[in-house]
Amino acid sequence: MKRLASLFLLFFAHLAFVPEALIVILIVGAYFYFRDPLPWLVFEGAVFAVLTLLFTLLARHVDRRSLAVGVVTAGSPQEKEADEVLRLFSLGEHLLFAITSATLPYFILSFFIFDGRVAFWLHTVFLAAVLVGVHFAGRWLDRLQKRRGYGEYGL
C-alpha cells in the first residue's frame, strides 16, 4: 500500500511541476470547447500525433548523439557532452510520461462524450494501444541507454 501511495504522490508531483499539466489542461479545455465527438477525436489524434512525432525525432537525435559521444569517463573533456546526452534521455522519458498522462483525461472524458458502447470501446482500445506503444518505446529507450553505456543515471 505504501508503494502505491508513493506512486500516486509521484504522479501528482509530475502533474504539478512539469509541462504535462499543460497537456491535461489543454485536453479538458478542448472537451468544453468542442462538445462534439468528431472534432474532439480529431484534436485527440492531433495531440497524440504531435507528442509521438516529438518523441520519434528526439529518439533519432538521442541515438545519433549517444553514438557520437560514446562512453565518457568522469573528468574528461567530453563529460559535458555526455551530460547533454543524459538530459536527452531524460527528456525522452518525460515525453513518454506526457503521452501516458494524456491518456487518463481522454479516458475519463470519453465517459461523457460518447453515447454508444461501440464508440466508447473503440476509443478505449485506441488508448490501450497507445499505452502499449509507450511501454515498448520506453523499453527501447532504456535498452538504448544501457547499450550506449549510459546506464541508469538520469538527471
User: DSSP letters along 57-119, please?
Assistant: HHHHHHHHHHHHH----TTSTTHHHHHHHHHHHHHHHHHHHHHHHHHHHHHHHHHHH--SHHH
Q: What are the pLDDT digits (tens) for 107-127?
A: 888 888 888 888 888 889 999
- pLDDT averaged over every residue in the chain: 82
Position 147 pLDDT exceeds 70: yes
Helix-helix angle 2-17:20-34, to 10 degrees = 80
Query: Does pLDDT of 154 surpass 60?
Result: no
Look up residue 72 and give its three cell numbers. 565518457
Contact 55, 92 (CB under 8 A): yes
- Tens digit of pLDDT for each residue in 64-95? 988 888 777 777 777 788 888 888 888 888 88
DSSP code for 148? T
- Predicted confidence (pLDDT) at residue 10 exceeds the cutoff of 70: no
Contact present, 31 and 40 (Cβ < 8 Å): yes
Does 8 have pLDDT greater than 50? yes
User: Global pTM?
Assistant: 0.77
Residue 24 has pLDDT above 70, yes or no: yes
